């Protein structure tokens, strides 16, 4: 029986990605046709686990030629075209529904989500023609950035699902591919200089390489020459031109472009977001706020527009919070930050601004209570980030409180330092052992927390044994010197192990770090299993100060600078909280 759907793809050195791609379509397509264009890694061996329909095609610098060769080997009535760094997400609907309910369509644009490497939960959405009937009229054209030729636009439908997810590549590989693409595009432009699509692609590649000045004329020409019959490309060209002008510092030019194009495309959410960013960069927060609000009001843009996921929700909400904060509207800022976190819990940047406002406006205990009531301490990544913020702000007991009751995943164990300086030393030592048990390389910084915990427990011999284990590792000898001296000072009141002159700056840094954490010590009330709080680390702080004050003139100077910075920070905090502004100031 003739297969219904054939996967047709070309590959070359795709060992890291191929299994994920093929697993996503296993059971979805009826056959897999894979054409290798010269792999030197394990790509072909991986492909053989999924199909025996593997072919080889010599690479001639022409993507369309290779893809069309794959089409000639496919037997299915329908073709699904994917790249190896993509996967098919059928959670919102599969291919079967489309090919059995065509409504007269011979081909379908599918949504492609290009996942962001920098912004969790964000992606750029495009529509790409990847599902089409296996007929000679549907073939690829273009040596680079190849597209399926469409002879009858009315025969092509737009599908909301399934979604193709494109996973980000490492930065080095992205740069390599852009360099390859530029060479192919320059050949294409030489052969067809009037083609505005080549201008668009050249601009995008130069912009991706950080060469905005080289990208600018290509993108300007693309925006002039592409019209609304090619809205899939023109809309993206406009956004790329805005980003190009912004990168070059031509903010007013970029703003004029946003004003013109939002008048032309009043439902294009992303252009309102881009305009908001431009006004925000200029410090015009009131105007920026209105642009971000309009992006939220627009919601998802029409399918024909390229779209960055989140501009209609959490990204704009975060910037609304930021603009309101800069305008001194603290309550509005808090509300927008909370809405941004609710819209995308994986996007935790609003948390930092929210935390600082609540800390100053309501105090640490009320801040924690409010964050808990909002459910943030029930989500692992947010709770871990909050714990780090409370610890850095000088509240290790509240850092631990953020994590209490949460299951500790082995791949996301918290820092034992939270528990050491909250007076929960036994828990800290247990946590260190859990870190060791993961089998991953043990962070030497954890060894410092462990030795400090043992000093607080007065388990000096065990602490010395741990410090000596660091001594045996040449790169960690400075930590060992610092810790062995602290152990001796706390136990006997004296130290005799002096570091070599070249090692002294690092030893000083390590001692000052321990001192800084000691000064954060805050123990809460004892809880179950914590009947007796350990001795406060005043003696450890005193040992650190004594050691630095007697080590050398350089160590004394470092200690003096550190204490002066602490005093200055306290003065600034007092002025910040109790000065004429009476609180936060813009």
Instruction: Provide the 10 A C-beta neighbour count for residue 294.
Output: 18
| Torsion region of 249: left, alpha or beta (phi above 0 gives left; psi -120 to 50 gives alpha) | left
Sorting pLDDT into bands at 50, 70 and 90, what band is 8? very high
Tell me the per-residue pLDDT of 253-296, one tens digit each, with 9 for 90 and over: 999 999 999 999 999 999 999 999 999 999 999 999 999 999 99
pLDDT confidence of residue 536: 67
| Average pLDDT of span 488-498 | 88
pLDDT confidence of residue 573: 65
pLDDT confidence of residue 528: 45
pLDDT confidence of residue 582: 44
% of the chain beyond a pLDDT of 90: 79
Tell me the per-residue pLDDT of 554-572, one tens digit each, with 9 for 90 and over: 999 999 998 898 888 777 7
Indicate the helix (H) or strand (E) that contains 55.
strand 54-56
Sorting pLDDT into bands at 50, 70 and 90, what band is 523? confident
CATH of domain 318-412: 1.25.40
Cα distance between residue 322 and residue 353, in whole Å: 8
In the DSSP assignment, the letter for residue 265 is -
Cα distance between residue 315 and residue 456, in whole Å: 45
Tell me the per-residue pLDDT of 425-448, one tens digit each, with 9 for 90 and over: 999 999 999 988 887 777 888 999
Sorting pLDDT into bands at 50, 70 and 90, what band is 586? very low
Q: Report the chain's mean pLDDT, rounded to a whole number.
A: 91
With a cut of 60, say whether residue 101 has pLDDT above it: yes
Cα distance between residue 293 and residue 60, in whole Å: 50
| Average pLDDT of span 479-489 | 94
Cα distance between residue 320 and residue 350, in whole Å: 10
| Average pLDDT of span 319-334 | 97
Sorting pLDDT into bands at 50, 70 and 90, what band is 498? confident
Q: Who wins on pLDDT, 98 or 116?
A: 98
Sorting pLDDT into bands at 50, 70 and 90, what band is 526? very low
pLDDT confidence of residue 228: 94
In contact, 431 and 419? CB cutoff 8 Å: yes
Which CA distances in Å does 256 have to 259, 261, 470, 524?
5, 9, 61, 56
Start and end residues for every CATH 1.25.40 domain found in the chain: 318-412
Cα distance between residue 367 and residue 377, in whole Å: 12
pLDDT confidence of residue 497: 84
pLDDT confidence of residue 410: 65
pLDDT confidence of residue 576: 58
| Average pLDDT of span 24-29 | 96
Fold of 5-168: Spore Coat Polysaccharide Biosynthesis Protein SpsA; Chain A (3.90.550)
Find the range with the poorest average confidence among 10-24, 88-102, 217-231. 88-102
- Neighbouring residues of 80: CB distance < 8 A, sequence distance ≥ 6: 5, 6, 7, 8, 25, 29, 88, 95, 130, 131
Residue 210, judged by CB atoms within 10 A of its CB (0-12, 13-18, 19+), counts as: exposed
Cα distance between residue 98 and residue 108, in whole Å: 8
In contact, 493 and 577? CB cutoff 8 Å: no
Which residue's entry shows tokens 């290790």?
Answer: 396
Q: Who wins on pLDDT, 37 or 575?
A: 37
Find the range with the poorest average confidence among 51-55, 67-71, 222-226, 471-475. 471-475
| Average pLDDT of span 357-384 | 91
% of the chain beyond a pLDDT of 70: 95
Start and end residues for every CATH 3.90.550.10 domain found in the chain: 5-168
């Amino acid at each position: 029986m003739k297969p219904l759907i054939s996967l047709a793809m070309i590959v070359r050195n795709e060992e890291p990605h191929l299994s994920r791609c093929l697993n996503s379509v296993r059971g979805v397509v009826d056959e897999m046709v894979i054409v290798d264009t010269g792999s030197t890694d394990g790509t072909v061996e991986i492909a053989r686990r999924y199909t025996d329909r593997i072919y080889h095609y010599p690479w001639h610098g022409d993507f369309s030629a290779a893809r069309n060769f794959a089409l000639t080997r496919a037997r299915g009535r329908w073709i699904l075209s994917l790249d190896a760094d993509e996967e098919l997400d059928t959670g919102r609907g599969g291919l079967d529904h489309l090919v059995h309910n065509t409504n007269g369509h011979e081909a379908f644009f599918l949504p492609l989500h290009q996942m962001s490497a920098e912004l969790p939960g964000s992606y750029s959405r495009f529509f790409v023609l990847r599902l089409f009937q296996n007929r000679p009229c549907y073939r690829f054209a273009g040596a680079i950035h190849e597209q399926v030729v469409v002879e009858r636009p009315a025969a092509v439908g737009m599908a909301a699902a399934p979604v193709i997810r494109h996973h980000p590549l490492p930065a080095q590989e992205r740069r390599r591919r852009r360099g390859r693409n530029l060479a192919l595009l320059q050949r294409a432009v030489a052969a067809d200089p009037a083609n505005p699509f080549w201008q668009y692609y050249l601009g995008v590649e130069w912009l991706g390489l950080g060469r905005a000045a080289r990208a600018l004329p290509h993108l300007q020409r693309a925006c002039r020459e592409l019209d609304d019959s090619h809205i899939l490309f023109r809309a993206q060209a406009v956004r790329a031109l805005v980003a190009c002008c912004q990168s070059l510092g031509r903010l007013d030019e970029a703003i004029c472009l946003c004003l013109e194009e939002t008048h032309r495309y009043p439902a294009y959410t992303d252009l309102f977001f881009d305009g908001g960013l431009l006004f925000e960069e200029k410090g015009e927060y009131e105007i920026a706020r209105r642009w971000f609000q309009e992006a939220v009001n627009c919601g998802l843009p029409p399918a024909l527009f390229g779209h960055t996921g989140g501009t209609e929700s959490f990204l704009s909400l975060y910037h609304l919070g930021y603009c309101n904060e800069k305008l001194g509207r603290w309550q509005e800022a808090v509300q927008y930050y909370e809405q941004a976190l609710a819209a995308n819990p994986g996007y935790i940047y609003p948390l930092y601004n929210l935390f600082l406002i609540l800390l100053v406006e309501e105090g640490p205990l009320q801040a924690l209570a409010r964050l808990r009531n909002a459910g943030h301490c029930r989500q692992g990544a947010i709770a871990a980030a909050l714990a780090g913020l409370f610890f850095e702000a000088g509240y290790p007991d509240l850092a631990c409180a953020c994590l209490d009751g949460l299951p500790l995943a082995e791949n996301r164990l918290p820092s034992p330092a939270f528990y050491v300086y909250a007076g929960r030393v036994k828990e800290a030592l247990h946590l260190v052992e859990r870190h060791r048990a993961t089998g991953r390389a043990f962070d030497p910084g954890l060894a410092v927390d462990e030795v400090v915990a043992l000093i607080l427990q007065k388990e000096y011999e065990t602490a010395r044994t741990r410090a000596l284990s660091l001594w045996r590792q040449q790169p960690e000898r400075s930590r060992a010197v610092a810790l062995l001296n602290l152990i001796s000072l706390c136990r006997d009141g004296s130290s005799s192990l002096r570091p070599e002159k070249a090692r002294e700056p690092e030893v000083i840094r390590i001692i000052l770090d321990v001192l800084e954490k000691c000064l954060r010590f805050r123990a809460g009330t004892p809880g179950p299993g914590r009947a007796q709080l350990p001795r406060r680390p005043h003696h450890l702080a005193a040992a650190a100060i004594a050691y630095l004050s007697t080590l050398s003139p350089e160590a004394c100077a470092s200690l003096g600078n550190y204490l002066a910075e602490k005093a200055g920070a306290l003065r600034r905090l007092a002025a910040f909280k109790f000065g004429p502004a009476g609180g936060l100031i813009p």
